[in-house]
Copies of this chain bind each other. A is one copy, B any other.
Amino acid sequence: MSVVRCHQAISLDGFSAGPNQSLENPLGEGGERLHEWMFETAAWARMQGLPAGRPETPDSAIVDEIASDPNVGAYIMGRNMFGGGHGRWDESWKGWWGENPPYHRPVFVLTHEPRAPVPMQGGTTFFFVTDGVASALRQAQAAAGDRDVHVAGGAHTIQQFLREGMLDELYLHIAPILLGAGERLLENVGEPQMTPVTVVASPRVTHIRYRIDH
Contacts and interface: CB of A to CB of B under 8 A. Distances in A.
| Count of identical protomers in the assembly | 2
Contacts of A176: 194-196, 210
Interface stretch (A93-101, A135-143, A184-192): A184-192
Contacts of A172: 12
Contacts of A205: 196
Nearest to A176: B194
Interface string A13-55: 1100000000000000000000000000000000000000000
Contact of A189 (B14, B178, B187, B203): B178
A134 interface: no
B203 A195 contact: yes
Contacts of A184: 13
A149 B184 CA distance: 33
Contacts of A178: 186, 189, 191-192
**Size bracket of the A interface:** 20 to 34
Interface in A91-113: none
Contacts of A210: 176
Given A13-B187, A186-B178, A189-B178, A203 B197 contact: yes
A208 interface: yes
A206 interface: yes
A61 interface: no
Given A13-B187, A176-B194, A177-B194, 8 more contacts: A12-B194, A13-B14, A176-B196, A178-B189, A178-B191, A195-B203, A199-B206, A206-B208
19 contacts: A12-B186, A12-B194, A13-B14, A13-B186, A13-B187, A14-B14, A176-B194, A176-B195, A176-B196, A176-B210, A178-B186, A178-B189, A196-B201, A196-B203, A196-B205, A196-B206, A199-B199, A199-B201, A206-B208
